[in-house]
């Protein structure tokens, strides 16, 4: 459940994927801090400056990820010589988790998009996570994310649907619950 809260890394990844201008980025972060405070990691709920600085840090990292990752072995060797231990996974992990997909949907529809929905073919969504069909674990995580981010899925014509019964070739539409 803890991984469902917005982290600076999540927000930085969303900003990077949307290629926002600086002023839009600032307005987006401010809106999240004011309106989504209950969904922020506890550490950042009361300090906008720390949130903004952490998002900027991770944004810089994501912008330069390839060059930073290429230098990682030299950095690790240098830190080892000073008896400072770092975890490799903290720096070279792929951040394409399912919860980030849902965070992005909620934040984009509420604060950035003119549209109040995001649509994707179920087959495309499954493929994005290396799946060909819905597993019990995928359905459980999917449902948990829908509830936490207060999202509802629909088929065309605003017909509510259930992820367990949707045809794999159907387009599902995500909307924030009113």
Domain containing 121 — which CATH number? 1.10.10
Instruction: Please report the pLDDT score of residue 145 as a whole number.
Output: 94
Q: Tell me the whole-structure pTM to 2 decimals.
A: 0.77
Residue 110 lies in a domain: yes
Residue 172 lies in a domain: yes
Instruction: Please report the pLDDT score of residue 137 as a whole number.
Output: 87
Angle CA(39)–CA(121)–CA(101) in degrees, nearest 5?
20
Residue 86 lies in a domain: no
Instruction: Please report the pLDDT score of residue 31 as a whole number.
Output: 96
DSSP 66-112: HHHHHHHHHHHHHHHHTT----THHHH-----HHHHHHHHHHIIIII
Question: What domain range is 115 assigned to?
Answer: 96-178
Instruction: Please report the pLDDT score of residue 131 as a whole number.
Output: 86
Residue 63 lies in a domain: no
* Number of domains the chain contains: 1
Residue 28 lies in a domain: no
Would you write out the chain's pLDDT as a tens digit for each of its 178 residues?
667 999 999 999 999 998 888 899 999 999 999 999 999 999 999 999 999 999 999 998 888 877 766 776 777 777 778 877 666 555 544 324 788 999 999 999 999 888 999 999 999 999 988 888 888 888 999 999 999 999 999 999 999 999 999 999 999 999 999 8
Residue 48 lies in a domain: no
Residue 3 lies in a domain: no
Q: Which two tokens stand for residue 32?
A: 């999240």
Instruction: Please report the pLDDT score of residue 92 as a whole number.
Output: 43
Residue 22 lies in a domain: no
């Amino acid at each position: 459940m803890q991984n469902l809260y917005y982290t600076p890394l999540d927000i930085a990844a969303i900003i990077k994927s949307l290629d926002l201008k600086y002023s839009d980025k600032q307005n987006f972060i401010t809106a999240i801090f004011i309106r989504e405070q209950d969904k922020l990691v506890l550490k950042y709920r009361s300090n906008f400056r720390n949130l903004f600085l952490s998002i900027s840090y991770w944004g810089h990292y994501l912008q330069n990820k390839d060059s930073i990752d290429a230098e990682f072995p030299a950095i690790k060797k240098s830190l080892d010589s000073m008896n400072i231990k770092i975890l490799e996974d903290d720096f070279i992990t792929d951040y394409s988790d399912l919860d980030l997909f849902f965070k992005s949907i909620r934040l984009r529809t509420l604060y950035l998009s003119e549209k109040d929905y995001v649509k994707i073919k179920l087959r495309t969504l499954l493929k994005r996570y290396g799946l060909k069909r819905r597993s019990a674990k995928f359905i459980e995580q999917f449902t948990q994310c829908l509830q936490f981010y207060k999202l509802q899925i629909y088929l065309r014509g605003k017909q509510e649907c259930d992820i367990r019964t949707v045809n794999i070739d159907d387009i599902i539409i995500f909307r924030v619950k009113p």
